[in-house]
């Protein structure tokens, strides 16, 4: 059986990453979402193992020291976030495709450890639309939104580091495109080495 793909999805706040991931998981039963670990305290409604793996500072540091994180970050406020390596490895070995929803710093670390990771940048149809979506949420101050847009601009400047860019204009179209990318990645020659060997072995038997 072939190993599953590792997809990394990034994109600016407001691009609709979360909704895209949710829809992908609904549509594709062979896709698994990596759950990050964090040292911050759970917010109301967050479930351990679903929203995040909530860990102590000691557990986090030990995992990182033992090479058990695919990527991690320590925030200015002291909170730490990271992607546990073990479930990603296990799922891929079982032939499942795995999705990480992380930022560009995380993506760069993942690419170091797993060069075969496939980076997809979710792009808003326009910057005006990104701004509109952030305002529409109606939960944040103008100052906070301005900060998010500034960060978003920086992130879009780095979009060229990803292999694919998917514009999230209509949700189902964006999800279709990511499914096509997954399907194409499965047909990549590197993923199909065994079939070449199998057919050639078969040819050997038949020629004899």
Q: Tell me the torsion sign for CA atoms 109, 115, 117, 122.
A: positive
Question: In angstroms, what is the minimal distance from the CB of 32 to a copy of itself?
Answer: 20
Calculate the alpha carbon distances from 201 to 94, 186, 187 in Å. Answer: 25, 22, 20
**Window of 1-9, 25-33, 34-42, 186-194 that interacts with a copy of itself by CB under 8 A:** 186-194
Of 19 and 131, the one with the shorter C-beta distance to a copy of itself is 131
| Positions in 92-131 near a copy of itself (CB under 8 A) | 120-121, 123-124, 126-128, 131
Residues in the interface with a copy of itself (CB under 8 A) total 44
Question: In angstroms, what is the minimal distance from the CB of 17 to a copy of itself?
Answer: 15
CB 124 within 8 A of CB 170: no
Binding residues for ATP: 11-18
Of 57 and 127, the one with the shorter C-beta distance to a copy of itself is 127
Question: In angstroms, what is the minimal distance from the CB of 75 to a copy of itself?
Answer: 25
What is 12-72 written as a DSSP string? Answer: -TTS-HHHHHHHHHHH-TTEEEPPPEE-SPPPTT--BTTTBEE--HHHHHHHHHTT-EEEE
| Positions in 142-181 near a copy of itself (CB under 8 A) | 149, 152-153, 156-157, 159-160, 162-167, 176-177, 179-181
Residue with tokens 């999705």: 99
3 state SS for 170-181: CHHHHHHHHHHH
Residues 6+ apart with CB under 8 A from 59: 37
Using CB under 8 A as the criterion, which residues of the chain lie in contact with a copy of itself when the complex forms?
A: 120-121, 123-124, 126-128, 131, 149, 152-153, 156-157, 159-160, 162-167, 176-177, 179-181, 183-185, 187-189, 192-193, 195-196, 198-200, 202-203, 205-207
């Amino acid at each position: 059986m072939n190993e599953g793909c590792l997809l990394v999805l990034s994109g600016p706040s407001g691009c609709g990453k979360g909704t895209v991931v949710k829809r992908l998981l609904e549509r594709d039963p062979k896709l698994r979402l990596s759950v990050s670990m964090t040292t911050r305290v759970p917010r109301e409604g967050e479930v351990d193992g679903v929203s995040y793996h909530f860990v102590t500072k000691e557990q986090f540091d030990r995992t990182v020291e033992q090479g058990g994180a695919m990527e991690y970050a320590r925030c200015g406020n002291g909170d730490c976030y990271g992607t546990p390596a073990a479930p990603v490895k296990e799922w891929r070995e079982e032939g499942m495709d795995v999705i990480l929803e992380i930022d560009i710093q995380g993506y760069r670390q993942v690419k170091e450890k797993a060069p075969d990771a496939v980076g997809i940048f979710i792009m808003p149809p326009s910057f005006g639309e990104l701004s509109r979506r952030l305002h529409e949420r109606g939960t944040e101050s103008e100052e906070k939104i301005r900060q998010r847009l500034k960060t978003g601009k920086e992130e879009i400047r780095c979009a060229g580091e990803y292999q694919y860019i998917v514009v999230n204009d209509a949700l189902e179209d964006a999800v279709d495109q990511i499914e096509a990318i997954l399907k194409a990645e499965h047909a990549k020659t590197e993923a199909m080495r065994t079939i070449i060997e199998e057919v050639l072995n078969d040819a050997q038997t038949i020629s004899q």
